[in-house]
């Protein structure tokens, strides 16, 4: 696990130095309200640093669209991996998480790459 722990620390330092402030909003579904017909939800926010970039047009496919954003965050900064039900807040704009890719070494998460859509 020597190289994995080194990569975790390096990724954390680089993203902390070069990244901007983002909020990962973890969503936990609540109970169904029969009056309103909606399912409630509980949110838990984690403030982290992340590197944001545009998705390249040639990457567009059935899932990823032109205009989507790619956010890279250090796995060390989060207690658990984000999921597609979660949201990301950047400069007061709430983004939907379209996909999550975990970059890992020896089964240790190094970074999470999130595709976002506003």
Instruction: Tell me the CA distances in angstroms from 58 to 66, 88, 103, one per residue in order.
Output: 8, 24, 21
Give the count of domains, the chain. 1
Report the run of H or E that residue 5 belongs to, with start and end.
Answer: helix 2-18
Query: In terms of residue numbers, what domain contains 17?
Result: 2-117
**Interval 58-111: pLDDT, tens:** 777 878 888 899 999 999 999 999 999 999 999 999 999 999 999 999 999 999
Q: Any idea what the CATH number is for the domain that residue 22 is in?
A: 2.40.10.270
**Interval 18-64: pLDDT, tens:** 999 999 999 999 888 888 888 889 999 999 999 999 988 777 787 88
Burial of 105 per CB tally in 10 Å (0-12, 13-18, 19+): middle
């Amino acid at each position: 696990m020597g190289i994995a722990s080194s990569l975790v620390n390096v990724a954390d330092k680089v993203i902390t130095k070069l990244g901007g402030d983002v909020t990962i909003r973890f969503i936990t579904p609540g109970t169904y309200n029969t009056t309103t017909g909606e399912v409630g939800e509980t949110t838990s926010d984690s403030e982290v640093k992340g590197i944001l970039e545009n998705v390249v047009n040639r990457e567009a496919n059935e899932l990823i669209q032109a205009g989507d954003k790619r956010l890279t965050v250090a796995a060390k900064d989060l207690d658990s991996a984000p999921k597609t039900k979660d949201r990301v807040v950047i400069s007061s704009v709430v983004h939907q998480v379209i996909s999550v890719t975990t970059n890992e070494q020896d089964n240790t998460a190094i970074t999470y790459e999130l595709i976002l859509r506003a």
